[in-house]
């Protein structure tokens, strides 16, 4: 912005008042062209080297993490063949997960240049505090990663001696190779932090950019007659050059607190999550082969030619099948419920009908009693005498009783 404002004011007040194209005609324009070419080459070369350092650091950190995680997973897998007991397997696995989590945290602490380097550990309270005190001493500063790797190696050898790791020694050496490879990549990432971009080269580019910011407004004013064009051309030119210089400085050390640096804390949280996953018993349950599995080679080869279901589609089908079973069972329950409701409705209807029949029968009985009392010339309320009189009347008139029954 200062160069842009200066270029506009110089042209607006016509401070230089040059003759048109005098600079170009005198041949001095080649000096500025050569200067910009050299500056552009210097900035492009520095930016490319900074870009290479950035991706080298990112690759080294991710490779280090993958090597150490694979070594930890191999050791826990080897411990599954232990014949001394389940408790020894659990103790060995938990100790290995804690040590590898501590190893990764100390590696990032040595590499990253952060204001807060307190990387979280996996249940550090589960380890003896006095044994960990060596990492806080002055002699261990800068050598924490090497010390923890030595702990892991000694623990592996002790477990091999006690038959907790019941595997051949040549197979076990693969773990030491992976740990050594991870240590090499750790030092590659540490190299980028210890050895910055060459100071003379960085200072030379900074000086040339400063000179460019001073010279460009003057040269642009000699090439045009419009003040607004001077301001726009100066702004675009300086933004390009200064932007390249700032980008190269931003990419030189990716282990910092800047927004464009590598997410060290997120990488460590992912490492801890993966290590804890190794202790999950379900991750060591090998999928069984069903009796319905295809074992014929030709059938498998022909099946492979077609587009088979992926894992996601496979689980989608299982979910649809389970959903259909759930829907059917729910429908059956609903039908039973509706059937019970229908039965209750029928029962209520039958009860109301029976109550109506009983009421009608009761009314018919009272009417017959009243009619009998009227025939016998007695009072309806005297039920006992009415019953005796009714029986006597039936004995005297058996024919009417027979007709009544018919």
| Of 44-58, 90-104, 193-207, 367-381, the least confident | 367-381
Q: Given this model, what pLDDT does residue 403 score?
A: 44
Q: Given this model, what pLDDT does residue 152 score?
A: 93
Structural domain spans, the chain:
2-284, 329-405
Q: Given this model, what pLDDT does residue 298 score?
A: 81
Q: Given this model, what pLDDT does residue 150 score?
A: 93
Q: What is the pTM of this model?
A: 0.68
Q: Given this model, what pLDDT does residue 98 score?
A: 92
* Predicted confidence band of residue 20 (pLDDT cuts 50, 70, 90): very low
250-307 pLDDT, tens per residue? Answer: 888 888 787 888 888 888 899 999 999 988 888 888 888 888 888 888 877 777 766 6
Does residue 183 register a pLDDT over 90?
A: yes
Does residue 243 register a pLDDT over 70?
A: yes
Average pLDDT, the chain: 78
**Residue 375 CB partners (closer than 8 Å, separation 6+):** 393
């Amino acid at each position: 912005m200062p160069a842009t404002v200066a270029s506009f004011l110089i042209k607006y007040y016509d401070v230089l008042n040059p003759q048109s194209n005098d600079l170009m005609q005198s041949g001095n324009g080649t000096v500025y062209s050569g200067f910009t070419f050299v500056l552009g080459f210097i900035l492009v070369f520095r930016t490319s080297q900074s870009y290479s350092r950035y991706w080298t650091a990112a690759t080294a950190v991710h490779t280090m993490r993958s090597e150490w995680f694979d070594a930890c997973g191999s050791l826990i897998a080897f411990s599954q063949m232990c014949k001394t007991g389940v408790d020894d397997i659990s103790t060995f696995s938990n100790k290995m997960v804690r040590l590898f989590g501590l190893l990764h945290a100390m590696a990032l602490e040595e590499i990253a240049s952060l204001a807060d380097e307190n990387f979280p550990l996996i249940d550090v309270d589960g380890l003896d505090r006095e044994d960990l005190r060596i990492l806080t001493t002055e002699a261990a500063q800068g050598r924490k990663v090497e010390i923890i790797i030595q702990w892991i190696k000694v623990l592996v050898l002790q477990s091999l001696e006690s038959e907790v790791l019941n595997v051949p020694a040549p197979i076990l050496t693969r773990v030491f190779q992976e740990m050594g490879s991870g240590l090499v990549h750790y030092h590659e990432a540490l190299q980028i932090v210890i050895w910055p971009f060459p100071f003379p080269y960085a200072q030379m580019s900074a000086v040339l950019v400063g000179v460019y910011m001073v010279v460009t407004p003057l040269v642009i004013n000699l090439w045009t007659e419009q003040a607004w064009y001077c301001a726009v051309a100066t702004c675009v030119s300086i933004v390009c050059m200064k932007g390249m210089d700032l980008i190269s400085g931003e990419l030189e050390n990716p282990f910092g607190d800047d927004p464009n640096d590598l997410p060290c804390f997120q990488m460590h949280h992912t490492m801890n999550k993966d290590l804890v996953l190794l202790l999950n018993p379900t991750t060591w349950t090998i999928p069984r082969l069903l009796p319905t599995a295809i074992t014929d080679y030709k059938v498998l080869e022909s099946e492979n030619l077609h587009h088979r279901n992926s894992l996601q589609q496979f689980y989608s089908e299982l979910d649809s099948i389970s959903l259909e079973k759930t829907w059917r069972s729910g429908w059956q329950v609903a039908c039973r419920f509706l059937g019970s409701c229908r039965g209750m409705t029928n029962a209520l209807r039958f009860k109301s009908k029976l109550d109506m029949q009983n009421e009608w029968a009761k009314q018919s009985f009272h009417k017959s009693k009243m009619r009998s009392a009227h025939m016998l010339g007695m009072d309806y309320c005297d039920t006992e005498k009415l019953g005796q009189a009714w029986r006597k009347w039936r004995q005297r008139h058996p024919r009417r009783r027979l007709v009544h029954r018919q």
